[in-house]
Each structure stands twice: as C-alpha cells, then as structure tokens.
C-alpha cells in the first residue's frame, strides 16, 4: 500500500507542493502542483491532498505565511485522513519544519526542489520540527475551548523525528 507524504514550500501568495510515495524503492517520483494562498486555493489544496491519499504533510515555517495553510489542513485534510477505517498512527500528521533545517546549497531558493527536500529530510529524520500545541481550556458548560494552532510553539529537536 502506498504511503504518500507532501512537502509544501510556502510563500506569501504561492505554495509549491510535491507529493511522493515514500514506500517505493529507489528514486522517488514526485508529483508537483502549485497553488495560490487564497482560501479557495487552500480548499483546492486540501481536496487535492485527499485525492492523492497523502498521509503526512511537512512545510517550512516561513514568516507567518504558513499559518493559514496549517489552519486549512488542520480543519479539513487532517480529520479526513484520521477518520478512515484503515488510518495508521501517523495518518493526518502535520509537521512544521524550521527553515534553517531545510536549506539547499548556498541558501538558494528553488520552490519545487525545496518542497521535495522537505519530504526527503522528513523521511531521513533530518529536519528540526516545531509542534503546534492545542491547549484546551474548559468552559463553564463543560466544553473545551480550542486554541488556534499558533497559540503555543516550541522547537522539539531531541526526539528521533523532532516531534515529541
């Protein structure tokens, strides 16, 4: 069964997305697609990732531009992947890589190669990842208030994949 991971190179108005089946032996074949950063384009992105049966997504923490992308994936793509009957423990995994851990040669910026490098380095456990902590504060009615994904961040570098 294929296990697909998507790498997203995030920019202010554009996303470069590369998807690969990491279970394949030898060279990986990346499928590439560019999306805008508008809400309608983010919906197209989440639909496309579901169609491609992507299990995990990794993106760079570039300025604040990653936040709307993270939010869209967290609201629509992640629950879809986790709700499947055959969902594994890493299904719907969202990873935020610190930009310094995904630099190419001489700091050159190349969109799709950067997205592909994110996938390769995630699989090789070579990224320094940050993790969104969703704290739930109980309300008077017993329900939990969800805090946005950007509420509390911490770098986690000590575990094998960089995620606690």
d(CA 13, CA 147) in angstroms, rounded, equals 26
**For residues 159 and 101, which has the higher predicted lDDT (pLDDT)?**
101
pLDDT digits (tens, 9 = 90+) for 117-163: 899 988 888 887 776 544 333 333 333 323 333 333 333 333 344 44
102 confidence band (pLDDT: 50, 70, 90): low
Domain 4-156 CATH assignment equals 3.40.50.300? no
Q: What does the alpha-carbon distance between residue 47 and residue 57 come to, in Å, rounded to a whole number?
A: 13
Q: What is the 3-state secondary structure (H, E, C) of 85-126?
A: CCCCCCCCEEEEECHHHHCCHHHCCCHHHHHHHHHHHHHCCC
Ramachandran class of 159: left when φ > 0, alpha when ψ lies in -120 to 50, beta otherwise: beta
């Amino acid at each position: 069964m294929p296990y697909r991971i998507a790498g997203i190179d995030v920019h202010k108005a554009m996303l470069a997305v590369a998807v690969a089946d990491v279970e394949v032996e030898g060279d990986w074949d990346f499928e590439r697609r560019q999306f805008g950063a508008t809400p309608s384009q983010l919906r197209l992105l989440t639909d496309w990732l579901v169609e491609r049966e992507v299990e995990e997504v990794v993106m760079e923490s570039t300025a604040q531009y990653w936040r709307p992308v993270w939010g869209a994936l967290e609201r629509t793509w992640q629950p879809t992947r986790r709700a499947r009957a055959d969902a594994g423990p890493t299904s719907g995994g969202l990873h935020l890589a610190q930009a310094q851990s995904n630099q190419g040669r001489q700091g050159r910026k190349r969109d799709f190669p950067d997205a592909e490098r994110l996938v390769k380095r995630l699989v090789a456990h070579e990224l320094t990842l940050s993790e969104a902590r969703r704290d739930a504060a109980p309300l008077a009615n017993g329900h939990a208030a969800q805090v946005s994904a950007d509420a509390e961040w911490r770098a986690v570098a000590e575990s094998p994949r960089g995620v606690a």
